[in-house]
Structure 1
Amino acid sequence: MNKTDRLLAIVLELQRKGVVRAEDLAARFETSVRTIYRDMQALSEASVPIVGEPGVGYSLMEGFFLPPVSFTVEEAVSLLIGAHFVEQKFDPRYQERAKSSRSKIEAVLPQQVRAEAANILTTMRLLAFASDTPAGKQEKEWVEKIRQALLDAKKVSFHYRKSLAEEDGNRDSVRVVAPYGLALVGGAWTMIGHCDLRDDLRHFRLSRMSQLAITEEGYQRPPDFNLHAYKPMDDRKTYVRLLAQRDIAERIKESNYFFLEGWEDSSDGLLITLRVRQTEEVKQWVLGWGAYLEVLEPEMFRREIREEIEKMIKRY
């Protein structure tokens, strides 16, 4: 980033955040604190009303606003694609806001930039297959309800069906949860929140919910919880080794399978490593490749696959 772009970006950062320390600006723009000091001097000399308070940070004088800025073609395309993504994956209220935002962005673009952006957009397309299904439409409805619960700080109740059974053999339960946030993971919406049943922070896929309702019970989100900084505990400690025939090697590499830890080519085919909590999580995926995929280890999982194949043979 050159100096001119950085000076503009600094003003935008101050306008957006209010008060920012020189150290934070230096980290944000990957430069030294001394360079930030010089940038602030340059802005002041350019009649930008910068206010500096020792030990607090820099801010813009109250009442100062940067005039509207123009977008490059790449910036316009990024914003329009983002709006299109929101139209596909968010609830109806935000879909309408995204359409409105897209129209406003297009309206303020210079003719040449608008034409170039439109030309680039004809070469790109976002597909969200799940959104067109009944399950996808239900997921959007749950997004809207949970978003409202987050705004009102109300707990939600719902029936939840886990992909794997609990220790008691039951997959279904009724949960009451204080929602802390929503995350779009691998194209599927997930709610993060404190579960009353488990008395702990838990994750819930919206596609596995039913009978979702906002309760009258309020809650307070912990002040130290930061959704963007939060990382769930990784408890996938079991490794599964597989051998795939070359016929499906490229398809497996391109599958972007969640449990896929790595692979390496060998003389016999593609050696694959999966990392899971329980082997049951990948059992159907392994069986789905048929004779093209062989379980090498653990031996217990290899026996489970063999037993499942024997059951299939008996059925046919």
Structure 2
Amino acid sequence: MRAGPGRRRRTGLLTRAVHEAFCVMPRPAPATGAGHGSCPNDRRTNVRPRCILAGMNRTDRLLAIVLELQARGSVRAEDLARTFEVSKRTIYRDITALCEARVPIVALPGRGYRLMEGYFLPPLSFTPDEAAMLILGAHAVRFAVDAAYREAARMALRKLEAVLPPSSRARVQELYRSMRVFSGWASPEVADKLSVLRDAILERRVVRLRYHSPRYEAALERDVEPYFLQFYRNVWHLSAWCRLRRDMREFRLDRIDHLRVLDERFARDEDRTQHGWSGQARAAPRLTVRVRFRQRALRWVREERHWGFRTEEPDGVMVFAVDEPADIVPWLLRWGAAAEVLEPPEVRRALAAEAQQIANMYSSLLRR
């Protein structure tokens, strides 16, 4: 039957959309037998764990089908239907649309669909080492981000795996199995804040947040201009211009009790982005703290240095720079009697007072 003008027009639009979405270079028309064929009675093949792709629009699904075929070789219609949570009839229509868009798909009796030999999606080309590093990076961050970016990382891994030539896949898998990077896990509460703050940064909107600092018993409310998010020491931090302090500050997301994105927009100051601060000289820390550590603790102190560390002197003495005793006393307490504060007197007094309160709590045990 000859296609009418309406059908030819729809096919042409779909062809263009497929080529634009897939970055596919024109290929010869598919060989005879392309399209959907004898799939219902195929023997069951090995099927990957199901991916949840319900609700995907058709253009994305067409691309994902090509990637599935590229990664797996041959796939049955029922397996594709199960993967994308659609009917087999929908898969048949999708395969027909891909064939009309000059994607060379062949139906193989007893095996399902496959791409013609030599068909690929350009222009990606990675060495095994490059591909292994990309895979390692995607796996490292996927549990530290929110659901949207976790899904993006998963899809990126699928696409990367699909474009690797068979000769490189075994090498890449071996490299990946030999290395692991653990970057922590974002709780649902932190993941929600990540999503909100990411949008606020992109839209340059002021954020009002209620933040807990170790220096103060009560949370303080402040308006900030968010610049970027950083993940280090297994914790997400927001770097923002604090209107209360009139300086760039970092806020741990797990210490934010509540946040709200305001309608107000701010003008991004590139000096703050480049220098991390306002571009002006920041006030030097008020206190220089010298601490002598016993030999048995030195190695572990070096592994978990305080953020105010400046230098190490002979005889196990380390020098720190902080603004007030509360910045370092909690960290010093973890080392117990292995840490002796040499100066300044105010840090010595603060540490002694804290130690006295701890001793009072257990005084009954000390008298026995």
Query: TM-score normalised to the size of structure 1?
Result: 0.67
Specify whether residues 76 and 182 from structure 1 end up closer, same or farther in structure 2 by C-alpha distance, changes over 3 A only: same
Q: Does 2:208 align with 1:162?
A: no
Distance 1:111 1:161 in 2: 52
**Equivalences for 1:232-247 in 2 at 5 Å?**
232=277, 233=282, 235-247=284-296
Q: How many residues are aligned here? A: 237
Give unpaired runs (5+ residues) of structure 1: 1-66
Q: Secondary structure in 1 aligned to 2:169?
A: helix
The Cα offsets for residues 99-144 of structure 1, whole Å up to 9 and x where unpaired, read as 111111122122333222211222222223453xxxx332221111
Q: Which moved more, 1:194-203 or 1:293-302?
A: 194-203
Task: Give the distance between the partners of 2:333 and 2:155, measured in 1 at CA.
Answer: 46
Q: Give 2:298's aligned residue.
A: 249
- What residue in structure 2 maps to residue 96 of structure 1? 151
Identity of aligned residues (%): 29
Residues of 2 paired with 1:305 and 1:315: CA distance?
16
Asked if the contact 2:143–2:184 (Cα under 8 Å) also holds between the matched residues in 1, the reply is no
Q: Which residue of 2 aligns with 1:68?
A: 123
For residue 231 of structure 1, what is the aligned residue in structure 2? 276
**Higher fraction of strand:** 1
Residue among 153, 164, 170 paired with 1:115: 170
Measure the CA separation in 2 of the matches of 1:256 and 1:112.
Answer: 45
**2:237 is the alignment partner of 1:186:** no
Q: 1:92 to 1:235 in 2, by over 3 A?
A: farther
Residue 177 of structure 1 aligns with which residue? 224
Measured in 2, the distance between the counterparts of 1:140 and 1:231 equals 24
Give 1:155's aligned amino acid.
V
SS class of match (1:164): coil
- Whole-angstrom CA distance in 1 between matches of 2:152 and 2:263: 28
Structure 2: unaligned runs, 5 residues or longer: 1-121, 363-368
Specify the code of the residue in structure 2 equivalent to 1:240.
V
CA contact (8 A) 1:191 1:206 kept: yes
Give yes or no for the alignment of 1:148 onto 2:196: no
- SS for the counterpart of 1:162 is coil
What residue in structure 1 maps to residue 343 of structure 2? 297
Distance 1:257 1:114 in 2: 43
How far did residue 265 of structure 1 move? 5.0
In structure 2, distance between residues paired with 1:69 and 1:129: 30
Match of 2:324 in 1: 278
Q: 1:126 aligns with which of 178, 181, 186?
A: 181
Partners of 2:170 and 2:283 lie apart in 1 by: 46
Alignment match, 1:210: 257
- Measured after TM superposition, the shift of residue 197 of structure 1 is 3.4
CA distance, structure 1, for counterparts of residue 172 and residue 307 of structure 2: 34
Is the partner of 1:89 in helix, strand or coil? coil
Which letter does structure 2 place at the counterpart of 1:79? L
Contact preservation (8 Å) 2:207, 2:259: yes
Q: Distance in 2 between matches of 1:125 and 1:90?
A: 18
Which whole-Å CA distance do the structure 1 matches of 2:346 and 2:313 have between them? Answer: 23
Secondary structure of the structure 1 residue equivalent to 2:340: strand
Residues in 2 aligned to 1:221 and 1:123: alpha-carbon distance in whole angstroms:
43
TM-score scaled by length of structure 2: 0.58
- In structure 2, distance between residues paired with 1:180 and 1:230: 12
TM superposition shift of 1:97: 0.5
Shift in CA distance, 303/175, structure 1 to aligned 2, threshold 3 Å: closer
Aligned partners of 2:132 and 2:176 also within 8 Å: yes
SS in 1 for 2:143: helix
